[in-house]
Amino acid sequence: MKEKIHPALHQVTVTCACGHTVKTWSTLSKNFTIEICSHCHPYFTGKQKLIDTAGKVEKFNKKYGAWQAAAAKRGKKAAPIAH
């Protein structure tokens, strides 16, 4: 490796808005804050809720529901529609 081309690493503390802190290494020489982390993000905590605010599921079922019923009458296996 070439010498003196890599930035210096500093130990910093990353603080989340929820209060969780993590010590890590960074080329920044100051501590910094973030808005969301793995301790408060809904995806990682399991508290994620899927909300269909625009009625997209109902619109899909209305558009393709007749196709699925017709395929069932013909005896063909139609792709399942998630509810």
Q: Domains of the chain, with CATH numbers? A: 10-74 (4.10.80.400)
Task: Indicate the pLDDT class of residue 76, thresholds 50, 70 and 90.
Answer: low
pLDDT digits (tens, 9 = 90+) for 10-25: 999 999 888 889 899 9
pLDDT, mean over the chain: 79
**pLDDT at residue 82 is higher than 80:** no
User: What is residue 2's predicted lDDT score, i.e. its pLDDT?
Assistant: 83
Three-class DSSP labels, the chain: CCCCCCCCCEEEEEEECCCCEEEEEECCCCCEEECCCCCCCHHHHCCCCCCCCCCHHHHHHHHHHHHHHHHHHHCCCCCCCCC
pTM over 0.85: no
